[in-house]
Amino acid sequence: MGNGQLIPILGFLTCVAFLYLSFGDLWFDYKREAELGFVSRNGTQFVLDGKPMYVNGWNSYWFMDHAVNDHSRHRVGAMLEAGSKMGLTVCRTWAFNDGGYNALQISPGRFDERVFKALDHVIAEAKTHGVRLLLSLVNNLQNYGGKTQYVNWAWQEGVGLSSSNDSFFFDPSIRRYFKNYLTVLLTRKNSITGIEYRNDPTIFAWELINEPRCLTDISGDTLQDWINEMTAYIKSIDKKHLLTVGLEGFYGPKSPKRLTVNPERWASELGSDFVRNSESPNIDFASVHIYPDHWFHDQGFEENLKFAVKWMQSHMEDGDKELKKPVLFTEFGLSNLNKDYEPSQRDRFYRTIFDVIYKSAKRKRSGAGTLVWQFLIEGMEGFNDDFGIVPWEKDSIQRLMLEQSCRLGRVTGRHLQDKKYREICSHKP
């Protein structure tokens, strides 16, 4: 090969080397940021890429419903972008809508592809913004169908054993309905990403049911049998994702904590038990809600604040000593309908809860994080409740969320390795 031929090649190679040295790091940074890994657990801690992970996140239950229609789909991306800018890592949302308007499952085994594509969009959009999703699979309440809809379906088809809502847990026909739904959902191939849900690390975990109660069997046996059966079924299809129950956190009739920690007597008579339900072998982490102002009717803010701390510490103690599993507080909030409510109370409530988690993280204890109930976009009054917040309209809440993200990142060292943390926490001391 003559020198005349060699010079253009050398020039090309020099150009390639220059581009690599100039932009190679950016490319590899992009690849690292774009690819999400599966979250696992080691004892009482969540683990991501070999390091502990603590969750600072929120609830936006409405994602799938709003992703169905063109005029409202943008709200999903806007909310995820806002969450990402606050360093939030997990959003909890509904992966169910049984019967009714914009139903995902129209009737047993019949699904609306238009709504499934909306859920595809939610998952793909979450991945774009580097946010993982905790997807809830059915509601104990009637909103979005819930167990009531399953019971009605069985009754309408003439196969139901009982008209009681709690037959959801013990009726063989309804169990088959629910297992069929689980199979279809877990093996769904996302029309946007091409990834089956069970293989998608954008999904942080599955939540079996939102706030399960079985009032017709306060011993807890009926609910426990159902949890054991359904969690084993899910794990037979999907062994990659974490799984939680979706409990409020009340202690059952045989627990000594029913007298010392439960808000009132009624809380032990709901057919659920925090420790027993969370001990189920296929449950990877425990879930708890924090609503003292809804559970007590005669307490002021200061008393509710003290209860919240005691409630959290009790469940983290269970996580450390009894369950040996992480404890994630998947809903918490302060109602603006309380008689003594002042906006500054919400800031104090949030900060107190965040402080408990931060102290637990520093000690490598089981307190694994929190999810605020709930964040919305302006103009969503019909989806709001007495806990809802548009985060960019509340500077103090935004600051608290960002501060919690950054200090949890410092505990694990992620603020040094993760590009997003470096950017949002660079102004932090």
Q: How far apart are CA 319 and CA 267, in angstroms?
A: 20
DSSP, collapsed to helix, strand or coil, labels residue 400 as: helix
CA distances from 8 to 3, 14, 18, 211 (A): 9, 10, 15, 69
Count of other CB atoms within 10 angstroms of residue 419? 12
- Phi and psi (nearest 5°) for 244? -130, 165
- 370 in Cβ contact with 353 (< 8 Å): yes
Q: Is 248 a catalytic residue?
A: no
**Catalytic option among 207, 211, 248, 403:** 211
**Catalytic option among 125, 248, 331, 403:** 331
The angle that helices 343-362 and 395-412 make with each other, rounded to 10 degrees, is 0
> Six-digit token pair at 57?
């996140």
CA distances from 257 to 133, 269, 318, 323 (A): 32, 13, 10, 15
Q: How far apart are CA 51 and CA 42, in angstroms?
A: 10
Q: How far apart are CA 191 and CA 120, in angstroms?
A: 6
Count of other CB atoms within 10 angstroms of residue 112? 15
Q: Is 113 a catalytic residue?
A: no
Q: How far apart are CA 72 and CA 66, in angstroms?
A: 5
Q: What residues act catalytically?
A: 211, 331
